[in-house]
Amino acid sequence: MSVEPNYFQQYQHADIDELADVIGELLQNPITVEDADHKLIAYSSHGDSTDQARWSTIMGRRVPEKVLTRLWKDGVFQELLTQDDPVHIPAKDEVGLGKRVAIAIRRGSDVLGYIWAQEVNRPITREDDEILRQAARVAVSRLMQRQGKRKAEEQRRKEFLWELLLGNHKSESTIRQKADSLQMQLPTAYLICIIEAAGARLDQYLYPLLMRDKLLWVVDGSQIILLIGLDGSVKKDVREVLVRKVEQFLADSLGKLEAHVTEGRQVIAGYGLGYQSTYTEIVKSYREALHALKIKKLFPQENEGIYGYHELGIYRYLLQLKQWEAEQGYENERLEKLRQYDRDNQTAMLQTLETFLDAAGKVNVTASRLHIHINTLSYRLRRIEEIMRVDLENMNQRAALYLELKMAKLDQEQ
Amino acid sequence: MSVEPNYFQQYQHADIDELADVIGELLQNPITVEDADHKLIAYSSHGDSTDQARWSTIMGRRVPEKVLTRLWKDGVFQELLTQDDPVHIPAKDEVGLGKRVAIAIRRGSDVLGYIWAQEVNRPITREDDEILRQAARVAVSRLMQRQGKRKAEEQRRKEFLWELLLGNHKSESTIRQKADSLQMQLPTAYLICIIEAAGARLDQYLYPLLMRDKLLWVVDGSQIILLIGLDGSVKKDVREVLVRKVEQFLADSLGKLEAHVTEGRQVIAGYGLGYQSTYTEIVKSYREALHALKIKKLFPQENEGIYGYHELGIYRYLLQLKQWEAEQGYENERLEKLRQYDRDNQTAMLQTLETFLDAAGKVNVTASRLHIHINTLSYRLRRIEEIMRVDLENMNQRAALYLELKMAKLDQEQ
DNA sequence: AGTTCGTTTGTGGATTTTCACAAACAGAAG
DNA sequence: CTTCTGTTTGTGAAAATCCACAAACGAACT
């Protein structure tokens, strides 16, 4: 194996722009350097033979969204994030991206940024890879400095998000001011989503997804709290689009987390309602998300596959009702009667009733779930009506019983 | 017409016992005098040829319950209360009541008491009626004195009942003491019932019923508040017996009131839960009764024929929930969407949904109530599911929708 | 005028529900 | 042991539900 020359020995102390130029000269091709968030840091002034993607990146000071999306989708970033070597990327004309080579600038497992070398003047071969590897190493210290600043800023942003979540700001104008001063672009419509997984470094595992969707987030113990936002381009059915977005995110992330992280699948998630224009309502969405999470812990089966506060149905009211009942010192006589009957006669009337109600009054569904004959069910239902003195045909009574049954489960199960 | 002699001229100032003896001698038969509450006031010492009913009355200082019940049932009291003449009553052997004649002692329209003349030594004829009429007139002043005391006592009792209703007494023992000092026998189990009829003198119309059931009551504006009680003889299913008693009372009284008093049938009633042993819970039962009344005003159709707080079903929670929703600043998006659709397309989806839910999901019932084809209904339901993004087969969603619909009616109708 | 869209009504057949009635069974009480 | 009571299962017929598909209708739009 031949000893490789040290290409950047005399440029150890050059600034990042100079570095870009040096790499560009070595490879005889245009170079761009980006940070981990794909913001432009430096670019070579070499020539003007540049493709659409590079031009847009330089003009917008950031890689265009559609390019990023495409590269995520094609697995380019996944490669870059997991290996030290340069990745050779074929042209993707649909997004205006010419053929190029990229390498991650990393320190340990942290990715600080990327170097991109376009292939226009000459092809970049495997022999050039060492140039890029060395360039990436030299770039580390430059990006560290930047990252130091970035981290402090990031810290302030996270603190600000916490303030919003906890409702510390009372006026919309101060929120907008502070967001401006932190150079944060708050979405025009948003909702709060919480993912909880005991013992997992959530932000780490979700990093690619968080980056992909450009989300604001904070980590709180075993929870990660996400602000899912939409920009002003969506005009109608805003809430529905938000819900689709968060459901998509959850589909992506929960699958990944469950496979990746925990064996006992203690991954749960919940999200609040969507709000528009006003940022003081982030508190509400956050509390709603917490509520949804709480309910999902209390009634896991009942709310399987449900994450949104708006989908909770009666469970939205249940805790409040329960508390109110407790204050009133009310104890449900009818249900107690049925329980007593079950104890006395070793029957399962209560379970029968619950299954029946859960099945929305469909006899065949109920019977098959209970593995009993349909006439047995009809007999039991008649008995239940006698014992409890209720009319199960009456929707009011049915709904009330349903509520009371679920309330009773609250202090029964735990 | 012959001039009747003045039988009692020389006894104008005799006391009531002496009066009883005089009547007894005139009629040559045993006499008893009772107050309006059928408590024994005086009885002739004439002979000992006495039937079971009279004997029990004297021994118990009050007419036995079963005798009273029977006489009410047979319409004897109704006659006595409405006419000035003596009423001739045939023997009723089943309750140990021999043949006798009775007359009400009245002042204006107020009944102060009754004079009873048993027919054992000789028959009492139409000629004797004048004796009884005069006797009743002479007895008035004696009973007035008694009634004066009774009214003051009654007043104190009513005040005490108000204190109980409003929860002024915090301890059971002080309640029991005060009840003893007022010589009130509080029932061991009770519930509060309220009847409201605009512009009717409720206590007047209900007087016979109130007397029959020996109820405690107070009048408050257009409401009469009743304490329906049971004594200690009922041991099991106390609440059920209470409910039967109050339902019986309401069946009797509402029929009477609606026929008798108001044309526009603004007679409404409601009653609270039953409680035992503790009198501090009269407040609760009273509030529950008020709540039931309120709900019946807000949802008259939905609660037709329902009076008990325990029968209110979801309506028990509705006001509380509504208030909570308001506090949370929640506005129901899904329902609003449907309403919007109805406005845009001149359809009746909301009404369809409500009818469907009210019918507990039975399609044929729903369709016939709406006077539409069953397939039209099924089409509409499918559209509703699309528009609102709900699954009407799911009990949770169904119940939640039902609740929300009724809540929405609260601020919609009024 | 024709077209489109959302709605209503009709038909027919497979499936489910409802109801009444009978038989079998097990545990408790006499 | 028998008797009684509450429960489960079976049968069969009438009624109700569900589903797919077709046709008619009116209002809005071109």
Chain A residues whose CB is inside 8 A of the B324 CB are: 317, 320
Q: How do residues B351-362 score in pLDDT, each as one tens digit?
A: 999 999 999 988
CATH number of A9-145: 3.30.450.40
The HSE-up count of residue A112 (CA atoms within 13 Å, CB side) is 22
Strand C contact at CB of residue B340, distance < 7 A: no
Nearest protein residue to nucleotide C27 (CA to C1' distance) is A345
pLDDT at residue B413, rounded to an integer: 59
Q: How do residues A279-320 score in pLDDT, each as one tens digit?
A: 999 999 999 999 999 999 999 989 999 999 999 999 999 999
The answer to whether the beta carbons of residues B217 and B42 sit under 8 Å apart is no
Pair of tokens at residue A373: 């004959």
pLDDT at residue A261, rounded to an integer: 62
The answer to whether the beta carbons of residues B146 and B41 sit under 8 Å apart is yes
Measured CA B107 to C1' C28 distance, in angstroms = 64
The answer to whether the beta carbons of residues A199 and A262 sit under 8 Å apart is yes
Alpha-carbon gap, residue B356 to B369, rounded angstroms: 9
Which fold does the domain A320-413 belong to in CATH?
Arc Repressor Mutant, subunit A (1.10.10)
Which fold does the domain B167-311 belong to in CATH?
Alpha-Beta Plaits (3.30.70)
Chain A residues whose CB is inside 8 A of the B403 CB are: 314, 317, 399
* Residue B214 clears pLDDT 90, i.e. is over it: no
Measured CA B341 to C1' C5 distance, in angstroms = 15
Q: How far is A360 from chain B (nearest CA, A)?
A: 5
pLDDT at residue A260, rounded to an integer: 64
Q: What is the mean pLDDT of residues B202-213?
A: 82
Verify whether the Cβ–Cβ distance A361 to B360 is below 8 Å. Answer: yes
Alpha-carbon gap, residue B321 to B130, rounded angstroms: 67
Dihedral sign for Cα atoms in the order A160, A162, A163, A164 = positive
pLDDT at residue B348, rounded to an integer: 87
Nearest protein residue to nucleotide C11 (CA to C1' distance) is B375
Q: How do residues B144-180 score in pLDDT, each as one tens digit?
A: 888 788 788 888 989 999 999 999 998 999 999 999 9
* Residue A161 clears pLDDT 90, i.e. is over it: yes
What percentage of chain A carries pLDDT values higher than 90? 44
Q: How do residues A70-114 score in pLDDT, each as one tens digit?
A: 898 888 988 998 888 999 999 999 988 999 999 999 988 778 899
The HSE-up count of residue A336 (CA atoms within 13 Å, CB side) is 4
Alpha-carbon gap, residue A220 to A226, rounded angstroms: 11
Verify whether the Cβ–Cβ distance A360 to B395 is below 8 Å. Answer: yes
* Residue A168 clears pLDDT 50, i.e. is over it: yes
Residue B39 has what DSSP assignment?
B
**Residue A216 CB partners (closer than 8 Å, separation 6+):** A157, A161, A184, A226, A227, A229
Partner-chain residue, chosen from B310, B314, B394, that has the shortest CB–CB distance to A399 = B314
Q: What is the mean pLDDT of residues A328-356?
A: 88
**B 248-287 residues, CB < 7 A, strand C:** none
pLDDT at residue A48, rounded to an integer: 66
pLDDT band at A244 (very low <50, low <70, confident <90, very high): very high
Q: What is the mean pLDDT of residues A320-330?
A: 90
Give one DSSP letter per residue of B186-226, joined into a string: --SEEEEEEEEETT--HHHHHHHHHHHTT-EEEEETTEEEE
Using CA coordinates, name the residue in chain A closest to B275. A330
Which fold does the domain B9-144 belong to in CATH?
Beta-Lactamase (3.30.450)
Count interface pairs A-B at CB distance under 8 A: 77
Chain B residues whose CB is inside 8 A of the A358 CB are: 395
* Residue B280 clears pLDDT 70, i.e. is over it: yes
Residue A88 has what DSSP assignment?
E
Verify whether the Cβ–Cβ distance B395 to A324 is below 8 Å. Answer: no
Alpha-carbon gap, residue B208 to B228, rounded angstroms: 15
Chain A residues whose CB is inside 8 A of the B402 CB are: 395, 399
* Residues in chain B whose Cβ is within 8 Å of chain A: 239-240, 284, 302, 310, 312-317, 320-321, 324, 328-329, 333, 357-361, 393-400, 402-403
pLDDT at residue B51, rounded to an integer: 87
Helix (H) or strand (E) holding A218: strand A216-220
Alpha-carbon gap, residue A199 to A266, rounded angstroms: 10
Q: What is the mean pLDDT of residues B309-338?
A: 91
Q: How do residues B329-343 score in pLDDT, each as one tens digit?
A: 888 888 998 888 888
Q: For A167-312, which CATH class?
A: alpha beta
* Residue B188 clears pLDDT 70, i.e. is over it: yes
**Looking at B20-66, which runs of residues are DSSP E strands?**
31-35, 40-43
Domain residue extents for chain B: 9-144, 167-311, 320-413
Give one DSSP letter per residue of B268-310, joined into a string: EEEE---EES-STTHHHHHHHHHHHHHHHHH-TTTTTT--BGG
* Residue A264 clears pLDDT 80, i.e. is over it: no
Q: Which contacts (CB < 8 Å, 24+ apart) does range B303-309 have?
A: B307/B193, B307/B246, B307/B247, B307/B250, B307/B269, B307/B270, B307/B271, B308/B243, B308/B246, B308/B247, B308/B270, B308/B271, B309/B270, B309/B271, B309/B272, B309/B273
* Residue B263 clears pLDDT 80, i.e. is over it: no
Angle (CA) B341-B346-B352 rounded to 5° is 70
Alpha-carbon gap, residue A391 to B194, rounded angstroms: 25
pLDDT band at A369 (very low <50, low <70, confident <90, very high): confident
Pair of tokens at residue A231: 């920009």
Verify whether the Cβ–Cβ distance B360 to A333 is below 8 Å. Answer: no
Residue A131, SS3?
helix
pLDDT at residue B1, rounded to an integer: 47
Q: How do residues B357-395 score in pLDDT, each as one tens digit?
A: 999 988 888 988 888 888 889 899 988 988 898 888 899
pLDDT band at B66 (very low <50, low <70, confident <90, very high): confident
Query: Matching CATH topology for A9-145 and A167-312?
Result: no
Pair of tokens at residue A208: 């690619």
Q: What residue type is assigned to position A242 of the chain? A: L
Residue A311: Cβ within 10 Å count: 22
pLDDT at residue A1, rounded to an integer: 47
Verify whether the Cβ–Cβ distance B400 to A316 is below 8 Å. Answer: yes
What percentage of chain B carries pLDDT values higher than 70? 96
Verify whether the Cβ–Cβ distance A398 to B358 is below 8 Å. Answer: no
pLDDT band at A209 (very low <50, low <70, confident <90, very high): confident
**Of A324-338, B44-58, B86-100, minimum mean pLDDT range:** B44-58
Q: How do residues A135-158 score in pLDDT, each as one tens digit?
A: 999 999 888 888 788 788 888 889
Measured CA A343 to C1' D1 distance, in angstroms = 30
Q: How do residues A185-194 score in pLDDT, each as one tens digit?
A: 899 999 999 9
Mutation choice for A interface testing from B317, B331, B334, B355 by most A CBs within 10 A? B317
